[in-house]
Amino acid sequence: MADKLRANNPRLDGHRILLGCHRGDRAHFPENTMPAFRAAVELGLDAIETDVRMTKDGHLVLIHDRDVERTTNGKGLVDEMTLAEIKALDAGFWKGKEFKGVQIPTVEEFLELVSPTHTVINWELKEYPMDFGRERAFATIDKLASLLDQYGMAEKSIMNSFSEQNLEYCAEKWPGKFVLHGYLDYIRPKDHAARPQESFLDWAAIWRKDEEQPAGFAEDYAYAAEQEILPCILVPDTEEMYQKALDLGCRMFTSDDPAAAQSILRRLGAI
């Protein structure tokens, strides 16, 4: 099951530690923008995580929040705005005056950057069936899959979602085509699939943490291993946190400060 899927891209089979960034290099650049993505590519990271939403007129754009207010100079919901309205927003000024005028990118703009590279893309599918209905949620996935075929990126793509139904849709429509990433023990799942998510997941984020177990619980890592699911995590970019996660069995880190994370993992001899 999982071994066959991962065989499409040997880099994702868990044989070595991977490092990705969270919405690009968001420590130094506006998140989910082309400057943040270019910086990640220049660092030579294994992966970039980003968030996919669909505009009112059916274009795919990269932005985490449904409401544009936090990361732009505008207000409103992505799904109620046209691409022209989205492109009129300033998505960089809040990070610094040097980023004034930076736009929200389309998936196509991002693919033009990453498709010539070896970078794996971790696409977080943000259109949830419970919020938008299955038709729109799955249409968003279909559009993304079509673009990945167009740019030759299917084998370098991870489909990631808090929606089990989104991931089950990918597993059933394109068996073995995409690596699938979900969340173990997420306390507020967006929805549930018709079958256990363990039957189709390849990777899963270790989500359950507390003050005493900031890198996750050993039993969650053990459960992932039992289910042949590879564990990944996002923790503070410190040597202590990374060593704890490595000791527990983490195989991929997603970082908010990828340059710092890269240095940490090199000092620890993990990459």
Residue 185's pLDDT is what?
82
Residue 4's pLDDT is what?
46
Q: What is the pLDDT of residues 139-161, one digit of tens each?
A: 999 999 999 999 999 999 999 99
Residue 8's pLDDT is what?
67
Question: Domain segments of the chain: what residues?
Answer: 2-267
Q: Is 22 a catalytic residue?
A: yes
Residue 174's pLDDT is what?
96
Cβ atoms of 82 and 55 within 8 Å: the answer is yes
Its pTM stands at: 0.96
Q: Cα–Cα distances in Å, from 227 out to 70, 82, 106, 134, 143?
A: 38, 42, 36, 28, 31
Which CATH superfamily includes the segment(s) 2-267? Phosphatidylinositol (PI) phosphodiesterase (3.20.20.190)
Residue 1's pLDDT is what?
42
Q: What is the pLDDT of residues 41-78, one digit of tens each?
A: 999 999 999 999 999 999 999 999 999 999 999 999 99
- Residue among 22, 59, 118, 181 flagged as catalytic: 22
SS3 state of residue 186: coil
Residue for token pair 């949620």: 137
Q: Is 59 a catalytic residue?
A: no
- pLDDT, averaged per 10 consecutive residues of the chain (271 residues), comes to 57 94 98 98 98 98 98 98 98 98 99 97 98 98 98 97 97 95 88 95 96 96 96 97 98 98 98 96
Residue 10's pLDDT is what?
78
- Residue among 15, 28, 64, 181 flagged as catalytic: 64
Q: Phi, psi at residue 120, to the nearest 5°?
A: -80, 140
